[in-house]
Amino acid sequence: MKILFPSFAPPERWRNSAQSKKLEGDEWKALRQRILARDNFTCAYCGYRSDKYQIVDHIDGDPENNSDVNFQIVCQMCNLVKHSGQGCVIQGIVDLYQEAKYSQSDIVRITREMRDKGSADTEIIAFLGLKNKAPFKMDREYLKKLLGFVTSRKSPTDMYSNWVRYHKMTLGNIKHGWN
Ligand SMILES: [Zn+2]
C-alpha cells in the first residue's frame, strides 16, 4: 500500500482548456479500463476493491501525463482525503485533525467498516482517537501532518453519493431510505 496524506491537486499543473492535451472520450475510456484491470479495481492506499466508482488517478496530478506508470486506482474515500481541497472545501464532507491513533489509510478502512456496521461519526472519531480539528490550508507541508476523516455528511456531488449507495448495495443492504 502507498502512504496517504491530505493534499490537493497541484495548481501549477492546471491548464486552460485551450492548452489542454487531456485524453477524452473513447481513448480515455480504454485507458481507464486497462488500468482498472491491471490493478484489479483496488485502491492503492487502503486496498478497497469496487467494480464501480473507483478513480483512475494521475499520480503526479498532471492530466496530460498519460503514461501507464503515472496511474493508480484510488477509492472515493481516499480520493476525498488526497484531494482535500475538494473534500474539505468544495464538498465540505472531510474534516482534518492533528492527532489520531491510526495511520491515514487505517482511518479510511476503519471508518468504512464501522460505518458499514452502523456506527455514528462520534463513535468512529472516538475509536480512531481523532483530536484537535484543524482548518484546510493550501499548504502541502501543513496538510501532510494532518489526518483526514470522511464524515457521513451528505456529499453535494453525484459521484460520491452514487458510490455510497452502490457500496451499501454490495453489502446486501436492501433497506430503503438510507443515504
Ligand atoms: Zn482507498
Quote the ligand 1 centre to 113 CA distance (angstroms). 12
Instruction: Give the three-class secondary structure for 30.
Output: helix
Quote the ligand 1 centre to 119 CA distance (angstroms). 19
For residue 55, what pLDDT is reported? 95
Question: pTM, whole model, 2 decimals?
Answer: 0.89
Q: How does pLDDT run across 113-156, given as a tens digit for each residue?
A: 999 999 999 999 999 999 999 999 999 999 999 999 999 999 88
Quote the ligand 1 centre to 18 CA distance (angstroms). 33
Of 61, 81, 66, 59, the C-alpha closest to 30 is 66
Residue ranges per domain, the chain? 11-79, 84-170
Quote the ligand 1 centre to 84 CA distance (angstroms). 14
What is the C-alpha to C-alpha distance for residues 121 and 124, in angstroms, rounded to an integer?
5
Q: How does pLDDT run across 38-72, given as a tens digit for each residue?
A: 999 999 999 999 999 999 999 988 888 999 999 99
Q: How many CB atoms lie within 10 A of CB 152?
A: 14
Question: In one letter, which amino acid is 79?
Answer: N
Quote the ligand 1 centre to 16 CA distance (angstroms). 29
What is the C-alpha to C-alpha distance for residues 104 and 107, in angstroms, rounded to an integer?
5
Look at the domain 11-79 and name its fold. His-Me finger endonuclease fold (3.40.1800)
Q: Name the least confident of 29-33, 106-110, 146-150, 154-158.
A: 154-158
Quote the ligand 1 centre to 4 CA distance (angstroms). 9
